[in-house]
Amino acid sequence: MTARIPNSSWLHPLAMGMSLGMTADDPTQAWVEDVRRARRGDSNAFAALVRSMQRQVFGLSLRLLRNEGEASEIAQEAFLRAYQNLEKYDDARPFDLWVMTIARNLCLDILRRRQKVRMDDVEDHAYALGTGEANAEDNAIAKQERQSLEDAMNTLSVDDREVLALYYVQKRTTKEIAEIVGVAPGTIMARLFRAREKLRQRMQPREPSIGVAE
């Protein structure tokens, strides 16, 4: 990347990766003022915007790309492009959805360039089960259940994985997902239904085949 953002230490790859497990309050109201300040050249205001949504941007990139290094680079590039195009941003649109759309499109560009895409799911540590109070047996069972879910997710397409991650992991509404993906909300609802059904089928235990003696 040739362009740089002033005081951009908060865009360091390590900082982006370490933020995956962070939680934050709803920053919607603060975004409006921070965007205005950032447009006036306040880099600290833009840094606040990055901190409020970097986990979601990095998390989606990681889900799609299955590579922490690439996901971190995409997250940085998405925020850089947002910074460079602040004057083009429509204030009537939620700022986080705008940045998420930028990141998603960058990820899709990478996936299109890959001749063979292998989408092995990465466990989202921010939503890992277990609180430290469960015993070893409970933790082992929870780990096995998570692994079964991850294995099932591995068999789904990129589109299915994307919509499930946005809806269940990031708690986005179908309207928000539709804006990020660029389709109608009804289409997202249909995709969710199909993706859930595929995942349910993958999660069903298979009965061993029994040969019939002649």
Q: Which CATH architecture has domain 1-118?
A: Orthogonal Bundle (1.10)
pLDDT of residue 142: 54
pLDDT band at residue 18 using 50, 70 and 90 as cut-offs = very low
Q: Region 65-88: what's the mean pLDDT?
A: 92
If DSSP codes are grouped into helix, strand and coil, which group holds residue 135? Answer: coil
Tell me the per-residue pLDDT of 138-192, one tens digit each, with 9 for 90 and over: 555 555 656 666 666 767 888 888 888 898 888 899 999 999 999 999 999 998 9
Please give the Cα distance from 208 to 135 (Å, whole number).
32
* Res. 113 pLDDT band, cuts 50 70 90: confident
Residues 126 and 18: beta-carbon distance below 8 Å = no
What pLDDT was estimated at residue 101? 95
E strand or H helix at 197: helix 185-203
Q: How far apart are CA 83 and CA 92, in angstroms?
A: 17
Q: Kindly state the average pLDDT of the residues 58-68.
A: 89
pLDDT at 118 over 80: no
pLDDT category, 97, cuts 50, 70, 90?
very high
CA atoms of 170 and 183, how far apart (whole Å):
18
How high is the pLDDT of residue 29?
62
- Measured in whole angstroms, the distance separating CA 127 from the mean position of its chain's CA atoms is 12
Local confidence band at 104 (pLDDT 50, 70, 90 cut-offs): very high
Gap between the Cα atoms of 143 and 128, Å rounded: 9
Q: What is the pTM of this model?
A: 0.65
The count of residues in the chain is: 214
Task: Indicate whether 100 pLDDT > 60.
Answer: yes
Average pLDDT, the chain: 74
- pLDDT band, very low/low/confident/very high, at 121 (cuts 50, 70, 90): very low
> Would the pLDDT of 80 be above 50?
yes
Quick one: pLDDT at residue 71?
92
